[in-house]
Structure 1
Amino acid sequence: MANNRNLHLNQDPTSVYFIHPSYASSSQLVSTKFNGTGYANWKRSMILSLSAKNKLSFVDGSLTKPYNATLEGKAWDRCNDLVCSWLLFNLDDVIAKSVLFFKSAREIWLDLDERFGYTSMPQLYSLEQ
Structure 2
Amino acid sequence: MKKILLILALASICFSCSKDDEDVTPKLDERLVNTKWETYDLAYSIIYGGTAYEVYEFISSTEVEQYTSKNGKIVDTDGTYSYTLEYPNLTITKEDNKKADFIFKDTRTFIRVGAEENDYYAKYIKQ
Q: TM-score range by the shorter chain?
A: under 0.3
Q: Quick check: which one's strand share is greater?
A: 2
Q: Which has the higher contact order (CA 8 A, sep 6+)?
A: 1
Which has the higher Rg, Structure 1 or Structure 2?
Answer: 2
